[in-house]
Structure 1
Amino acid sequence: MDRQTQDPREVIAGLLNDSRFLSACAERDMGAVFRMLNHRGISTRRIAAAVDITQGRLYDYMNGKSRIEKLTLFEQIADAFHIPGHLLGLARRSWEPAADPQPQQPQPPPDGDDLTAMDAFRLADRQTGGGRLYGAVVQHLRDRVAPRLVDLSDGSGVFAAAAALTEMAGWMAAMAAAGQHTAAHRALDQAHRDLNASADTAHPWLSPFDAGRLASEEALILVDLGEYDEALAAAEEAVTLRDAGRARSLALARITLADIHVRRGDLDAALAVGHDLLATSPTLGSIRVVQQLDDLRALLESHKGHEPVREYLVRFGDARRARMLLLADLIPSPGGPRR
């Protein structure tokens, strides 16, 4: 089938089991989705026409210069290419078959069979939507994975499984909240009430979920909802509540704050926070911090026309190289072994 007759909906149907496509949808990275379509023979002219945007705007999305934020455009893309609504955090589309009123929950695999668990949850997610599986993933983490984290005989694989399943639970929760602003705000209000209620007992082995952590999570949720002013207030509170002794939490809170400033178009405020981030100890051994710093850099790259941004990115590159040298034992080089 040539480039002109290839049906983009057939291409999407063939990508529904592709982990890169599913990840792009979970992150609402439509630029990546458009690139996948183009690489598989769909012309940029056809892509742009299908979603009623100019080719120039399409190139901005594909090159990472801008991201789609409007709910109506996500809906248009889902309907044009037949991307199942739940993959983009949307309601079931009119062309999708009716969902089973009582979807079968995945059966937990035997202890230790973590890859089977991941495959089971991914398959069920494609069938029923991530928001409906959040509880099952959390229960599996609590009942099957968490007890093995303190068993030294289980090897390091259990930590990778815990990280992957926690990430899965996180984006499932975010997808469930997307497009459901009222429900999300109701849940946040309840979280604040629960936090303010004193616990009956405290366990010495448990780290408390404090106001700073809640503010950080609230900021991320509000960003997903596109409510940047409210997200800014939550992110500023998270930074204020984190002292220097909580280096990792403080760094993550500052990354979120800088990200929100960029999304609001306040580049000077973003750079002020960014300079604070450069002072973060280069020996902070957090892969998550490194990855989120890279995401922030990518976001700033689209604003290189602003001279202070260019100057900051030079300093950022120098600081990143120093950090990667110190964390080489934790973060293998791109050409190194993958574990």
Structure 2
Amino acid sequence: MPEPRRSKELPAGLLTDPAMIEACQARDFSRIFWLVKVRAGIYPSMIARRCDLTPSRVGEVITGRRQLLHMDVVERISDGLRIPGHLLGLARCSWETPQTLTVTPREPFEGPTSVDVRSAVGLPGADVDSILALAAERDLSPSMLDALHSSISDYWRRDDEHGGETLRPAVVGQLRYVIGLLKEQRPTPMRDGLHSIAAELARLTGWTYFDARQYNQARAYFTEALGLAKAIDDRQFTANVLACMSLQATYQDKPGDALALVAAAQDQARGAEETTPRVLAMLAMRESFAHATLGNHGATHAAISEAHTHFGRISADDPDPAWATYFDEPKLIVDTGIAHGRLGEAALAEPLIADALRREHRSNHRGRAFHAFWLARTQLQRGKLDEACHTAIDALVPAAAVSSQRIVGHLREFYEQLEPFRREPTAMAFESRLREMLSCQVSGWPRP
């Protein structure tokens, strides 16, 4: 029996329902499919046809036995069910383009006309995908690739200053744009350049999800970045992505996975002739984090020593990739302190983190907050309650300036460590300042 003819659009009430919005933001497709079935009358077999999925796969998703993480599948679901892209963290879909933006042939000019301000105010703004489609019609040039690389550098700077939550839609939109360019025939240098840019954008998107502690989405984008880097055999960048995934595994309390991932990253880096000492130093430091999380003192110290040895071999002539330049001397020092801190070696960690924090650029709000909370924790471990609370109070300002659930996690850990000292004056002063910040409705912060 043929499927009854229905509108492709979901009911407006469903798309504005808080339950649907929450499910879309979490990419909880089990919940999404259930809501679509109950509220829109679109049953699993129809969902499968619309989204180019098998009925068995849809059934597994609805029962919670399978997750959908690949970006191609997410985009097919958005298109098939007509879920607006922004709800799923995607760029605006082509079918969302208002009809008023459709290009029509220009009529012959008949003289000056007046502008109806009232109607103009009601017109939507230019659709981003339409603009990008127009841009794609022109031939690519090296200067355009340079411009795309430059925008990525700017994204990273803004991510340090404000966090990636509001940045992510723009990054995902640009990633989709570059992936679209790759579908066309290009000269090999241009294709390789586009693959490199797409890989960086996918890694940045994964990083924003990691910083928001949305680990499944982060892994999906990191995996996409690996595939893009592999397509051009960029082993250094492959190593970089694996190192990001290793760091995420330490946050997920999976130190075995973290060690396996960073070992794979080092294998990739050693297999590339162009790998620089800076990259090797960064990877060795990530290895030290994994060992420290496992509690391996000897292996942690050995990895720290290897990182410093590689760093000492850096020269001004090294062809460092742009994504590696962040790993400078203050970063080496603070990461060394954090590795000692993860081992519980607070006496070694404190002066290193304090030194690096003094050198931290003031615009890097996340770095300042992140490292300040690490410093406060090591000071507290050493019995320096007053210093720890003062450091933590100073950290609240940059923490409030950046949207980062990782920072919130470190704040929460410090707050919990203060429990035995709640009645001490400095601890009470910290809690009072925290209450002031909470009155400004800083989302997700621990409640005193």
Q: Give the TM-score category using the shorter length.
A: 0.3 to 0.5
More helix by share: 2
